[in-house]
Each structure stands twice: as structure tokens, then as C-alpha cells.
């Protein structure tokens, strides 16, 4: 700040003010009114310093942003081939985020639309700070799309089960560079989502043990790792045995990655839970019997 101040045009103004103040100080013994003039001048100088401090803080922020832009953390050239690779790199690399957002960013909250500038941008946490993330599918075959290199659109959703609200970060692949770009951020209620009914069911199912027991198939299929990690053990349990096997289910907030899943007219939903650090996963299969959702399978 000091370097900026004493090399700025304001230097001359400050020197002039200080000189005037010194002159008034010398004359103070001869002029009784000089005390009042001194007070006025001191207020002017105080205002000068306050304005310069604000300007300096703004300049410092601009310098920090410029340094962030110029210091690019290296990113693998293949990061854009598969959306998963890009999404996790984007989430953990702040400088990459600023290069991969289409500014001004369109932000839609319910029915209100605003445009967010680069200076207003705040890095979101898509997955960081979590031990796991979740994805919703309609079939096991859909899971193969995570490695699809021809995708042109994808979205990461934060689902607030309590508020019944979804925040969607929408990404598109740039046709010229083939780079993934964040092009839009949307916030909307469950009523506007093709997953709304299932999300309302899951919120109650995950929080209410009695409700959960009423929504489990009479015979439940399971798959678990055996003593030999290369082989799985498969079998069936009765609904009454579920509490002995049931893990702690995600509550309050879910994530979802849309790779192009078709949720319309679905009668099956798979909730996949994937660990961020250990690579472990659970898959819970729910089927609608025409009247209600039931847990029918789980894979540990």
C-alpha cells in the first residue's frame, strides 16, 4: 500500500496538505482562529487517508486476481475427455475454475435471472469437503456413461432434501476447444424436477426407520464382497433382517451428476454412493410397484 500511495498522483495533494498544516501550526501562536482551521484541515486529511485505504484494498484485490489468473496450475491435457475427470479437477483447482466459467455467468434462482461477473464469482464446492458423493440412475447400464467421451452436456446437482430445492451447475463442451465450461447455475424446487417424487420418498425413507421398514421388499437381494476380494457373495434376506445389514444412509443433502440419464416414466431408481478417497461404493435399487417405492436390492 505504501509503495502505491507514494507513487500515485495523490502524493502531491498530500504534500500540499501537510505543508499547509505545518504553516498553520507555526502561526497558531499568533492567530486564535488557527485552531478551527487546523480542525478542518485534519478532517480533510483523515478523509484523504480513508479514501486511499479503500482504493488500496480494491487495488490489492485486483492484483490478487491478476496473480491468480497468471499463475495457472498445470492441468492434464486429457482432463476434458471424460466429464468425471474434468469435474473433480475443476472442483479442486481454483485457477482452472476461473478459466472454465463462461462469464458473465447466467444464474437463475426460481424465476429470477442475473448475470454474474468474474469479480463476483465465488468458487463452489461441487464435491470438496465431503466423504462421498451420490448419483441417481435408472439402470445399471446407464452407469457406463461415466466414461463416455462423446458427451456434450452434463450437470452437477446439489439436492437439499429438507428445503426441497436443487442447485444445478450446468456444463457444456465447447465445440471449438472441446473444453468443458460452466455455462449456467440454476436453483429450482422439487416440483420442477423430474426426480421430485422420488426425492420426497427418499427423504422420509432415510430419516424414518418405521417408514423405511414399510418400504422394503419382502425378500431383499444383496451382493457383498467375500473373503476373497475378487469374488462377491450374493444371496437373499427377509425384510425383517434389513436392520442387521442396513448402513447409515445419506440424509439431508444428496449430490447427483447428470450424464444424460432419462428419468421420465422410470419405475426403477438406483442410488449409487461413491467414496471420494477410498473408491468404495454402495448401490441401492428401488422399484415402484405401482403404489409405492420399495428397496429391492443392495450392493455393498
Q: Residue 54: pLDDT band by 50, 70, 90 thresholds? A: very low
- Residue 75, SS3 per DSSP: coil
Average pLDDT over residues 175-180: 96
Q: Residue 206: pLDDT band by 50, 70, 90 thresholds? A: very high
For residue 61, the model assigns a pLDDT of 45
Q: Residue 246: pLDDT band by 50, 70, 90 thresholds? A: very high
R_g (Cα) of the chain, nearest Å: 30
For residue 279, the model assigns a pLDDT of 80
Q: Residue 225: pLDDT band by 50, 70, 90 thresholds? A: confident
Average pLDDT over residues 190-213: 97
For residue 231, the model assigns a pLDDT of 83
- In the DSSP assignment, the letter for residue 86 is H
Residue pLDDT, tens place only, 92-140: 999 999 999 999 999 999 999 999 999 999 999 999 889 999 999 999 9
Amino acid at each position: 500500500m505504501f509503495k502505491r500511495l507514494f507513487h500515485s498522483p495523490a502524493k502531491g495533494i498530500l504534500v500540499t496538505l501537510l505543508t499547509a498544516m505545518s504553516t498553520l501550526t507555526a502561526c497558531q501562536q499568533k492567530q486564535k482562529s488557527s485552531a478551527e482551521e487546523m480542525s478542518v484541515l485534519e478532517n480533510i486529511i483523515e478523509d484523504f487517508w480513508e479514501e486511499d485505504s479503500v482504493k488500496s484494498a480494491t487495488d490489492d484485490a485486483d492484483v490478487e486476481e491478476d496473480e491468480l489468473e497468471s499463475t495457472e496450475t498445470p492441468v492434464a491435457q486429457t482432463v476434458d475427455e471424460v466429464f468425471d475427470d474434468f469435474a473433480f479437477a475443476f472442483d479442486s483447482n481454483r485457477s482452472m475454475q476461473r478459466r472454465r466459467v463462461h462469464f458473465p455467468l447466467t444464474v437463475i434462482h426460481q424465476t429470477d435471472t442475473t448475470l454474474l461477473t468474474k469479480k463476483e464469482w465465488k468458487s463452489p464446492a461441487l464435491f470438496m469437503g465431503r466423504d462421498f458423493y451420490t448419483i441417481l440412475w435408472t439402470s445399471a447400464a446407464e452407469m457406463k456413461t461415466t466414461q463416455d467421451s462423446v458427451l456434450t452436456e452434463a450437470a452437477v446437482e446439489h439436492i437439499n432434501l429438507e428445503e426441497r430445492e436443487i442447485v444445478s451447475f450446468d456444463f457444456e463442451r465447447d465445440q471449438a476447444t472441446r473444453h468443458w465450461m460452466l455455462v449456467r447455475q440454476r436453483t429450482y424446487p422439487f416440483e420442477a424436477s423430474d426426480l421430485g417424487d422420488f426425492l420426497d420418498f427418499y427423504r422420509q425413507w432415510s430419516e424414518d426407520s418405521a417408514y423405511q421398514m414399510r418400504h422394503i421388499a419382502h425378500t431383499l437381494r444383496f451382493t457383498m464382497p467375500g473373503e476373497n476380494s475378487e469374488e462377491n457373495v450374493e444371496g437373499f434376506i427377509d425384510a425383517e433382517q434389513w436392520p442387521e445389514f442396513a448402513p447409515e444412509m445419506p440424509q439431508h443433502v444428496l449430490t447427483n451428476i447428470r450424464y444424460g440419464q432419462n428419468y421420465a416414466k422410470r419405475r426403477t431408481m438406483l442410488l449409487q454412493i461413491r467414496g471420494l478417497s477410498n473408491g468404495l461404493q454402495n448401490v441401492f435399487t428401488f422399484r415402484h410397484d405401482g403404489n409405492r417405492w420399495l428397496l429391492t436390492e443392495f450392493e455393498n
